[in-house]
Structure 1
């Protein structure tokens, strides 16, 4: 696996995330395989790039990513470059209260220049439970 292929997979993921956060489903779709699997926190399965923004619209009044780093490795068994994008979410909860520093990790499998799988994890569920008095999670 060449460094060029790893860098290209990172570029694909970063471009997809940019389009996705801009709520540009058609722009994001250009970076995805037609049968791309999308799995959000809690095991929520979505089809197509319009699913994540629709889900986020229910959870946040607004949300954006503040990327920290993107890492890529070749996974021979999967025949794909595995990419992890990490950072923090910032925005506002549905009640308008601002938040920042909500950690996220996004996983991507990139094969033949397209994203074939993505998984999303972040602190939002724990933070929402804590805000409701239902969790010991730190705010």
Structure 2
């Protein structure tokens, strides 16, 4: 992995750690001006507090189990995919696990410029029986 990719990977890992600690101020230190985060359902956030606030309303608490990280560099930017599972509790205290997620990050000059977030949460909220299948 080249230096550009290593720097980008460290940035994303730090951002994810801050995000999972619900620390949007620290997470923002890893993002570039003009940062955009798109969640499932085409929800767009222009600050790191947007996803934190959204998650606070959707989950009592949530964490990520990262299973794989793919890193690609091209044309001065690094694309990073983080894949794994979400686990935690719904607002009513019901636990959940094995909620698949994929996060895609675009990193330029060592800072995140955009990210896309996909997971099973919306489907599981529509049909809670889905969340009982590992």
* Shared fold (TM-score, shorter chain, > 0.5): yes
Unpaired segments ≥5 residues, structure 1: none
Task: Show the counterpart of 2:84.
Answer: 87
- Could you report, residue by residue, the CA deviation over 1:30-77 in whole angstroms, capped at 9, with x for unpaired residues? 10002111101100001111111100111111111111121110132x
- Could you report, residue by residue, the CA deviation over 1:61-95 in whole angstroms, capped at 9, with x for unpaired residues? 1111111121110132xx31000011110000111
Task: Show the counterpart of 1:103.
Answer: 100
Task: Show the counterpart of 2:62.
Answer: 63
- Could you report, residue by residue, the CA deviation over 1:81-133 in whole angstroms, capped at 9, with x for unpaired residues? 000011110000111110000010000000001000001000001111112x7
Count of matched residue pairs: 133
Q: Per the alignment, in what secondary structure is the counterpart of residue 93 of structure 2?
A: coil
Query: Does 2:96 match 1:116?
Result: no
Decide whether aligned partners of structure 1 residues 103 and 20 sit closer, same or farther in structure 2, where only a CA change above 3 A counts. same
Cα RMSD (Å) of the superposition? 1.7
Unpaired segments ≥5 residues, structure 2: none
Instruction: Please report the TM-score for the alignment, with normalisation by the length of structure 1.
Output: 0.89
Once the two structures are TM-superposed, the CA of residue 137 in structure 1 deviates from its matched residue by: 8.4
8 Å contact 1:37–1:46 — kept in the other structure? yes
